[in-house]
Amino acid sequence: MKKFEAIYMLSEIAMRDGIYRYLTIKTGVFGREIGFSQQSTSRKLNELYSQGLIDKVVLIRGLKVKITKKGIDYLMDEIKKMGLIGEKIRRIIIEGSVTSGMGEGTYYMSREGYIRQFMSFFGERPYPGTLNILLDNEMGEIISFLKSNYRYRLNGFREMERTFGDVILHRATLNGHPCFIIFPERGHYENVVEIVSSENLRNKFSLKDGDRVKLEVFPYD
């Protein structure tokens, strides 16, 4: 049995309280619930049993199964690894230097079409401007990840004769202060990211061009 299958099977048993007590199952029903055939489920349970990860009692119709101490230890070790992976995904560090922009942030963040959506998500009005960060060279793949994995998106709209594209946002902090990193669909920057807050961050932290900053970004918060 492949490792991920063992983890999956143990997790499904655990979710049904098969840690504290024997769980009575029929392999056909259990298999359908977890996406395996009856034969495959029986085989996998036998493998878990032979490895000492579960205990089982054969009934006339069905089985009683329970995760052993060895199985719990095995599952907990894997959960800890998943927790570390989750932390890497949940909290991403971006570093770079403050730089001057072209004034795009001020223009875009003053549009009511964006402001209304921003306030509906976060309950605050964004300062009409952005803090621009020139990224370190190795940040490219991280930025690609953030553009593809997000919770918040401001939908594009039409204002007078002009259309505005979508904007992706992520919660973040700068020096512990809540802010948002934004990625306009029609942005012109390749190596610069824009930071939005309810305050003027440049003034708040007395930042000038060339100052080093570190952002913590939370893609799934």
What CATH number does the domain containing 22 carry? Answer: 1.10.10.10
Tally of domains within the chain: 2
pLDDT tens digits for range 72-125: 999 999 989 888 887 778 889 999 999 987 666 677 778 889 999 999 999 999
- How far is Cα 12 from Cα 96, in angstroms, rounded to an integer? 44
Pairing label, strands 212-218, 167-174: antiparallel
Give the Cβ contact number of residue 59 at 10 Å.
11
Q: What is the pLDDT of residue 188?
A: 59
Residue pointed to by tokens 């101490």: 69
Residues 193 and 99 in one domain: yes
Residues 130 and 60 in one domain: no
> Where in the sequence is the domain holding 47, given as residue range(s)?
3-85
Instruction: Tell which of 61, 85, 109 closes a domain.
Output: 85
- How far is Cα 105 from Cα 128, in angstroms, rounded to an integer? 7
Residues 95 and 202 in one domain: yes
- Does the pLDDT of residue 18 top 90, yes or no? yes
Lowest mean pLDDT among 5-9, 12-16, 104-108, 137-141: 104-108
Percent of the chain with pLDDT over 90: 57
Instruction: Tell which of 36, 57, 85 closes a domain.
Output: 85
Average pLDDT over every residue of 44-64: 92
- What is the domain-level CATH number for residue 178? 2.40.30.30
pTM for this model (two decimals): 0.68
Residues 71 and 112 in one domain: no
- Short-list 65, 86, 96, CA closest to 194: 96
Asked if residues 54 and 67 have their Cβ atoms less than 8 Å apart, the reply is yes
Residue pointed to by tokens 């979508």: 166
Average pLDDT over every residue of 130-159: 88
Q: What is the pLDDT of residue 37?
A: 94
Query: 3-class DSSP state for residue 87?
Result: helix
- How far is Cα 93 from Cα 115, in angstroms, rounded to an integer? 27
- What does the angle CA 60 – CA 62 – CA 68 come to, to the nearest 5 degrees? 115
Residues 54 and 115 in one domain: no
Average pLDDT over every residue of 155-164: 86
Instruction: Tell which of 40, 63, 85 closes a domain.
Output: 85
Average pLDDT over every residue of 169-179: 92
pLDDT tens digits for range 111-125: 889 999 999 999 999
Residues 198 and 149 in one domain: yes
